[in-house]
Structure 1
Amino acid sequence: MIDLRRLRVLRVLADHGTVTAAAHALHLTPSAVSQQLRLLAKEVGVDLLRHEGRRVRLTPAAVVLLEHADSLFAQWERARADLTAGDERGTVRLCGVSSAVAALLTPAAARLRADHPRLTTRVLEEESADCYELLLAEEADIAVVLPTPEAPPAGDPRFTQWPLLDDPQDLLVPAGHPLARQDAVELADAAREPWIVKPRNNDTYTLLQVACAAAGFTPRIAHEAKEWFAVSALVSAGFGVCLVPRLAPLPPQHEVVRIPLRGNPRPSRRIVGCVRRGSEGQWPIARAIVAIEAVCAGRVTDERAV
């Protein structure tokens, strides 16, 4: 018999490359990770790791075992759905980036509270890369994420992923800015402006880089901020401009203007839902998916009406 919890440790090790990194992702000590891997090797009767100095490398047997792991985990998720069928109790954990939490997950959680009072909902704000890890560690059940070049591919067998909506980017300028009087602008119109964006650990930075390159310029970053309240405050005070997703709520006390972009490029974020493959049939997760998709559909309808 194989303990799937130990198999999960092996999969996390394969993703992160070192015992220390895997321990950090799993909230375990390195010694606990090593022990779980030794016990797994004993269960399957083969060596799983080859030690090379302070690093470890997966053996060919470990690679073969991981090729079967995705099917085993997906089947276990489906079995959990069958075991809990008809039970309207439980907990569902939703995670996503800050703008998705504000605009999508919070109203979805409110729907779940009203429609299914016996279901407990927990919301976690995390960057997209962290959301995938939370799913694999079973610390979250549904992620609403922004695919980046580092994200798992759409066909990754560990996940079921599907598009939710496209989130256009607007140019955010101070209320007194010359561009603020226009109904729409091209991104190149802001080429000479100072920009406000945090390059590190920020899902939207790559989007800004790619969009500005397509518009023929490199943004001059004057100030670094990521949270939209801080970014909006800096823009309001005249320290620069930024791209802001239409989903992101901005404080009304800040004197800023959102300007839609016209022409090409018109950058937009694709918002994607993601769960562990096979878990979408579990009652709490299925109800939460319905609620999230209803909120997204409502936003799309509102955008078209405008």
Structure 2
Amino acid sequence: MIDLRRLHMLRVLRQQGTVTAAAEALHLTPSAVSHHLRELARELKVPLLEPQGRGVRLTPAGHLLIDHADALLARWEEAQAELESYRAGTTGPLRLAGFTTAISGLIAPAAGRLRHSHPDLQVRVRECETAESMDLLVAGEVDIAVVEPIEDGPPPDDARFEQSPLLEEPHLMLVPADHPLARAASVRLEDAADEDWIVSDPGACDHAQRVRMLCAAAGFSPRIVHAATHWPAIWSLVGNGLGVSLVPRLAEGPAGQAVARMPLSGGNTPTRRILTCVRRGSRRNPLIDLGIRALEEAARDHEPRNDRPRFAA
């Protein structure tokens, strides 16, 4: 009989790229991971790994096994979900991960609701970017990830994951409260073509790339003058008159900053798509289903409506 844990280790190795990184994700030693994978190859009577520089890579047989491992592990998740359905579904840990604004706008409200409706449920929240959330899902470290589509991210039909739309979030233009644009009912991106722009540091997320792409679609190249790592810093720079920025609706800044969040109009109104992601086969787990329904309830609080300028004094 094949040990499903060893299949899982092989899949994590493929995800992480090295034995050392896979061992860290699995909370094992590299020697233990290597031992289990050698045993798996011996049981199957085919080589699964081959040297590549100082590391290893999957052989063609290893890639073939991975394809079947995704299906086998998905069925195992389904079996666990079926067994879990015999339980009340209101106790035990539920682990959620997501990027910063997803936590503040969606995960934290959902976790708060669950704490009041199911006090015996142990909800655990972890802040991380989408790529890390996917790694944590594969490693079994989290149950639900709230993510956004990213370059080189998994496609919708990835055999490892089930991805479902959660929220289509509009972007808003952030301008100083005394800026002429703050007096309008809505603005277009091209209205800020002559402004200095503030973006998030490229090392933090793809905000700068997104601003450049959206502004290019609106017919101009933004004059990016300032970069910050966190949304509160962007709020402060805008509030002190140093430029404008483009922020997702879920993003919030500190109180006391004189800024206006302006709804965008025109043919290039940008949005951000936010998804829930779970391991394929685990969606029927009652605890995971409970968590996703709480997230969907939190998302309904942010459904599109007729926005008016929002000020923070």
TM-score (norm 2): 0.90
- 2: CA distance between counterparts of 1:261 and 1:77? 43
More helix by share: 1
Match of 2:121? 119
1: CA distance, partners of 2:259 / 2:249: 14
Judged with a 3 Å threshold, the aligned counterparts in structure 2 of structure 1 residues 276 and 257 are, in CA distance, closer, same or farther, namely: same
- Counterparts in 2 of 1:205-284, with a 5 A limit? 205-284=208-287
Structure 1 residue 119, shift from structure 2 partner: 1.1
Matches within 5 A, 1:1-306: 1-26=1-26, 28-85=28-85, 86-87=87-88, 88-197=90-199, 198-300=201-303, 303=305
Query: Offset of 1:304 from its aligned partner?
Result: 5.5
Contact conserved, 2:15 with 2:135, CA < 8 A, in 1?
no
Aligned-partner SS, 1:265: coil
After superposition, give the CA deviation of every residue in 1:1-47 in whole Å (9 maximum; x if it has no partner).
22323222222222343334434544555444333322322333321
Residue ranges of structure 1 left out of the alignment (5+ in a row) = none
Task: From the superposition, tell whether residues 201 and 21 of structure 1 become closer, same or farther in structure 2 (CA, over 3 Å).
Answer: farther
Distance change >3 Å, CA 247–CA 52, structure 1 → 2: closer
Closer/same/farther in 2, CA of residues 24 and 181 from structure 1, 3 Å limit = farther
The whole-number CA distance in structure 2 between the counterparts of 1:45 and 1:201 is 45
Distance 1:25 1:183 in 2: 49
CA distance in 2, matches of 1:193, 1:305: 23
How far the C-alpha of 1:170 sits from its partner, in A, is: 0.6
- Once residues 74 and 130 of structure 2 are traced to their aligned partners in structure 1, the CA distance between those partners, rounded to angstroms, is 22
Amino acid at match of 2:170: P
Q: Matches of 1:117 and 1:304 in 2, distance apart?
A: 36
Find the aligned partners of 2:16 and 2:285 in 1 and give their Cα distance: 28
Over the matched positions of the two proteins, sequence identity in percent amounts to 52
Structure-2 separation of matches of 1:23 and 1:48 = 17
Q: Given that residues 95 and 125 in structure 2 are in contact (C-alpha distance below 8 angstroms), is that contact kept between their aligned partners in structure 1?
A: yes
Residue 186 of structure 1: how far off its partner (Å)? 1.1
- Secondary structure at the aligned position of 1:279 is classed as coil
Counterpart of 2:292 in structure 1: which amino acid?
I
Root-mean-square deviation (CA, aligned residues, Å) is 2.0
Per-residue deviation, 1:203: 4.2
User: What SS does the aligned partner of 1:162 have?
Assistant: strand
- The letter for the 2-side match of 1:213 is A
Contact 1:19 1:33 in 2 (8 A): yes
Distance 1:28 1:174, change over 3 A: farther
Change (3 A) 1:16 1:216: farther
Counterpart of 1:212 in structure 2: which amino acid? Answer: C
Q: Output the CA distance in 2 between the equivalents of 1:75 and 1:173.
A: 50
Structure 2: any 5+ residue segments left out of the alignment?
A: 309-313
Runs of 4+ in structure 1 displaced over 6 angstroms? none
Q: How many residues align structurally?
A: 305
Assess if the C-alpha contact under 8 Å between 1:207 and 1:267 holds in 2: no
Partner amino acid, structure 2, of 1:11: R
Structure 2 Cα separation of the partners of residues 89 and 150 of structure 1: 36
Q: Deviations over 1:71-94 (max 9, x none)?
A: 111111111112222233111111
Distance 1:292 1:69, change over 3 A: same
Cα distance change, pair 199–220 in 1 and its aligned pair in 2 (3 A): farther
Q: CA deviation at 1:100?
A: 1.0
Q: Is the 8 A contact 2:263 2:307 kept in 1?
A: no
Secondary structure at the counterpart of residue 302 of structure 2: helix
Equivalent residue number for residue 311 of structure 2: none
**TM superposition shift of 1:162:** 0.8
